[in-house]
Amino acid sequence: MSLIKSISGIRGTIGGKVDENLTPLDIVKFSAAFGTWLQTNKNKKNLTIVVGRDARISGKMVNSLVCATLQGLGINVIDLGLSTTPTVEIMVPELNADGGIILTASHNPKEWNALKLLNEKGEFINSENGADVLKLAEDESFSFAEVDDLGTYEERNDAFDIHIQQILNLPMVDVKAIKAKNYKIVLDAVNSTGGIAIPMLLEKLGCETIKLYCEPNGQFPHNPEPLKEHLGDICALVKSEKADLGIVVDPDVDRLALVDENGDLFGEEYTLVAVADYLLKNKKGVAISNLSSSRALRDIAKNHGSEYFASAVGEVNVVNLMKEKNAVIGGEGNGGIIYPDLHFGRDSLVGVALFLTHLAKENKSVSELRSSYPSYFMGKKKIQLTPEIDVDALLTKMEKEYQNEEVSTVDGVKIDFEKNWVHLRKSNTEPIIRIYTEAFSQEEADDLGDKMIEKIKSLV
């Protein structure tokens, strides 16, 4: 199976051998490393860490190990129990905690779990901090507390209420306008914590919720990544129930996909586009996404006299650029909405509230709203190379080949042509180049990818 250690945390499959899979010993070691790192870097006693988890089968076991390890270091633990990634992110500063740990493997299948690490702002720790935590885990240089100095343990069950109330208090969320529409909504929460949190939000917004896979038991009824090929059930149910729309979230509720009233997918890329359209219509500013996200966001920003910038791929990179540019809205093309007026993290709940506000104010159906945006199609390919080939040198050659076009080297090489684009990225784990394309048709996007593969082969 697998254990992946990275600067953003540790993830793997439950069971198996130590250091090869996510075993209890690995969980304890990594929790101790994060706690020790916080103790080393915080010049204070009585540190507090907030812990929350999605509904994975292994969640309770992992949670017990994490909380007990932190207490063993003398760190106080606030356990949110079943939660969402954005809820934990919000609760860290809300509770004046020193950090947070989210127990979720996001859209990975049920045998996976992970520890994701947050700083005192409720934001993912940066690469430098992550490297320090990995080094501590490797060295196992931990010093545990004596019996009179063990950390305290507290459970909180009000985190969803706090998170939702903060969303309802946002000036750009119009509760009255949404309530007036009496929306009928089908929700697929893949039997995780979105099945608790999203209905609570929708009830406050005066919507009727039809629940599909909303039992938080961790038994994912389909592949939990919210892609078209996994969402046939909700598309059919939206049509048969004559609902206004469908909402799909992943297990930790940081990715939001939508289904229109005809049972057709809105498109994950267009979740961010629609929310940005609403916000930039009301406030000129900056929109941010990553280099592999749709050009449609750039088009919408330009339509509203606003600016658009692209970051390297990765949520931390998007957030850093949003802060630098003081962005109004940002996110990723996988349905990740980052609304800085609430917090700097992908958040499906605030995405739902902002989208429904936009839908209500436009007085359109979901399909009508979607048809008002430029239609782009994306292609994803890869080219396998032999290990001895210098991939960086190859990408530099590609940059020179297209130097007369608009080229970005922030993250690999992205070439913006007039009517389409291609993004070439080196894999960190194998000798391949990933090739992302976007055009006005699927055929054109795929053809562009094939042409780039031929060009790369000619330069090898």
Catalogue the active-site residues: 106
> What are the E-state strand segments in 135-284?
153-155, 184-188, 208-212, 245-249, 256-259
Closest C-alpha among 185, 186, 193, 244 to residue 212: 186
> What are the E-state strand segments in 30-165?
48-53, 76-82, 99-103, 112-118, 153-155
Provide φ and ψ at 268, rounded to 5°: -55, -40
Contacts of 158 (CB under 8 A, 6+ apart): none
> What are the E-state strand segments in 94-227?
99-103, 112-118, 153-155, 184-188, 208-212
CA distance 224 to 430: 25
CA distance 180 to 188: 24
Single-letter code of the amino acid located at 304: H
Residue 108 vs residues 54, 114, 221, 225, 448: alpha-carbon distances, Å: 12, 10, 13, 7, 30
Structure tokens given for 176: 């009255």
CA distance 394 to 398: 6
| Three-state SS at 380 | strand
User: Which residue bears the tokens 């633990």?
Assistant: 77
User: How, if at all, do strands 153-155 and 76-82 pair?
Assistant: parallel
Say which DSSP state 174 is in: -
